[in-house]
Amino acid sequence: VALSSFQQALSVVKQVLETTLCWKLELKLSEFLVAMLRSPIFQ
C-alpha cells in the first residue's frame, strides 16, 4: 500500500513538472516570437 501511494505521488510530481516545463517553454517561445516581430527585419 505504501509503495503504490508513493508511485502515485511520484506520478503527480512528474505531471506537475511536465506541465510547468511546457508552460515555461511556451512562455519563452512567445517572448521569442514577440522579440522577432519587433526586430527591424520585419519592419
20 Cα distance to chain centroid: 4
DSSP string, the chain: -HHHHHHHHHHHHHHHHHHHHHHHHHHHHHHHHHHHHHSGGG-
- As a whole number of angstroms, the distance between CA 43 and CA 41 comes to 6
Whole-number pLDDT of residue 33: 92
pLDDT at residue number 3: 82
Quick one: pLDDT at residue 7? Answer: 93
The grid cell for 1 is 500500500
Return the pLDDT at 41. 75
Place of cell 512567445: 30
Question: Per residue in 2-41, pLDDT tens?
Answer: 789 999 999 999 999 999 999 999 999 999 999 989 988 7
